[in-house]
Amino acid sequence: MQQTINGLASGSIYALLGLGVTLIWGVLHVLTFTHAQVLTWGAFGSLIAINRGYPVPVAILVGMAVAAGLSVLIDSTVLEMLRRRGASEYAFVVATIGLAFMLESILRNRTRARVEPYSRDGFPRGPIELLGQNVPKLQLAVLATSLIAMAGLAIWLNHTRAGRGMKAVAYSPETATLLGINPRFIYAVAYTVSGMLAALAGVFVAVSTASVSYSSGDRLLLTAFAVIILGGMGSVPGAVVGGLILGVIEVYATVHVSSKFSEVVAYLVILVVLLVRPSGLFGAKEATRV
């Protein structure tokens, strides 16, 4: 049971990441490679706030604001230029890959490639006994916060004007424009929400290891792609379920096979899903595109 909780906690972080990527894919049809860097920049934003003595909730909000701002900046500059020029999907991919390298280089130089300590003061510490098992309070907090964020996102998408506007733009920007919806505003909103989710994941990764570095998010990019392919690209419930399943699979692969193969598991998941069900678990007819 404890290992399942370990897996669900990791999986909830993966789900937060996958949600951000799937949101961008669903609305803009862009597979964004900057997401891991947005996560890292968000984590650094919260670190600066923590080091300046702000309480943890405020620091998390600062991190989310940094990541959201960075995401919107990326969208409103480079990606907007590509959209105006009618660039192909591959141009967006290459552009975001280039931006990711650039963002990582900036952080690496600014931090002199150091691993920065990330204070755990203010975060839950130690274990709590649950059904006879020692469950880390921090993991429970991560799991609970992630689930609340995901539920909030689902409610926002389905029950608010902006959320419905996002769905309309995802379906057809031209039709949405005729309905009085500004697609550029919706794109900015999508990037804002995506960045905030990435930052939340970044904070959880940083506090989990009590450290943050320019490469903190590197490994997670592939995981985010695995999550959305497993769940179905563009599907919000797919990202949640995909993240949680992948987290649990990785933990059991680590324990019963070897941690050397936990990344292999992610690749295998991609391969198997692409071969057996190219649209993912919640893809095609079952998918709810945002």
Partner 1 sequence: MIARRVVGALAALMLVTTACGSDDDSSSSSADDENPAASEPVEESAEADDTASTADGASADSDAEPSEATVVRVGVPLDLSGPAAISNIGLSELSAMELALEEVTASGMLGETTIEMIPIDTKGDKQEAVAGVLKLIEQDDVDAIVGFTLTPSFLAAGPQAVEAGLPVIAVGVAAPGITEVGDNVFRIIPQVSSLYAANDAMIAETLGATSAAYLYTSDSETTVGIHEARLAALEDAGIETKSVQSNTTADTDFRAQLTEIQNSGADIMVISGFPGQFAGQFLQAEEIGLDIPVLSTDGSGRNEVLDQAGSAMQCVIYTASWAAQNETGRNPHFVEAVQTELDDEADLYYAAGYDGMWMFSTALADAGSADPDAIVEALNNITDFEGAFGVYEYDDNREPDISGINLQIQDNEVIPWTPDTQCER
Q: Which amino acid is at 230?
A: L
Name which of 61 and 94 has its Cβ closer to partner 1: 94
First to last CA, the chain: 34
Name the burial class of residue 241, with classes exposed (0-12), middle (13-18) and buried (19+) by CB atoms within 10 angstroms of its CB. buried
Q: Please, which of residues 172-191 interact with partner 1 by CB under 8 A?
A: none
Name which of 7 and 173 has its Cβ closer to partner 1: 7
Tell me which stretch binds partner 1 (CB under 8 A): 55-63, 66-74, 91-99, 157-165.
91-99
Among 78, 93, 147, 268, binds partner 1 (CB under 8 A): 93
Say how far apart CA 40 and CA 276 lie, in whole Å.
34
Site of tokens 């799937």: 22
- Smallest distance, partner 1 to C-beta of residue 179, A: 27
Residue 274, interface with partner 1 (CB under 8 A)?
A: yes
- Smallest distance, partner 1 to C-beta of residue 56, A: 16
Residue 243, interface with partner 1 (CB under 8 A)?
A: no
Residue 138, interface with partner 1 (CB under 8 A)?
A: yes
Cβ atoms of 20 and 227 within 8 Å: the answer is no
Say how far apart CA 238 and CA 230 lie, in whole Å.
7
Binding flags for partner 1, 201-240, as an x/- string (CB under 8 A): ----x--xxxx-xxxx-xx-----x---x---x-------
Q: DSSP secondary structure string, 54-101?
A: --HHHHHHHHHHHHHHHHHHHIIIIIHHHHHTT--HHHHHHHHHHHHH
Say how far apart CA 206 and CA 200 lie, in whole Å.
10
Site of tokens 């391969």: 271
Residue (of 215, 232, 214) closest to 270 by Cα position: 232
Q: For the chain, state the CA radius of gyration.
A: 18
Residue 110, interface with partner 1 (CB under 8 A)?
A: no
Among 87, 145, 263, 288, binds partner 1 (CB under 8 A): 263
Residue 55, interface with partner 1 (CB under 8 A)?
A: no
Sorted by sequence, the CB contacts under 8 Å of residue 15 that are 6+ apart come out as 146, 150, 227, 239, 240, 242, 243, 244, 247
Among 48, 78, 94, 268, binds partner 1 (CB under 8 A): 94
Among 9, 149, 169, 224, binds partner 1 (CB under 8 A): 9
Residue 125, interface with partner 1 (CB under 8 A)?
A: yes
Name which of 81 and 102 has its Cβ closer to partner 1: 102
- Smallest distance, partner 1 to C-beta of residue 171, A: 17
Dihedral of alpha carbons 236, 237, 241, 244, sign: positive
- Cα→Cα distances 260→36, 80, 206, 250, 289, Å: 21, 40, 22, 10, 35
Among 16, 17, 254, 281, binds partner 1 (CB under 8 A): 254
Name which of 13 and 181 has its Cβ closer to partner 1: 13
Q: Which residues are near partner 1 by CB under 8 A?
A: 2-3, 6-7, 9-10, 31, 33, 89-90, 93-94, 97-98, 101, 108, 112-115, 117-118, 120, 125-127, 134-139, 205, 208-211, 213-216, 218-219, 225, 229, 233, 250-251, 254-255, 258-260, 262-263, 270, 274, 278-279, 283
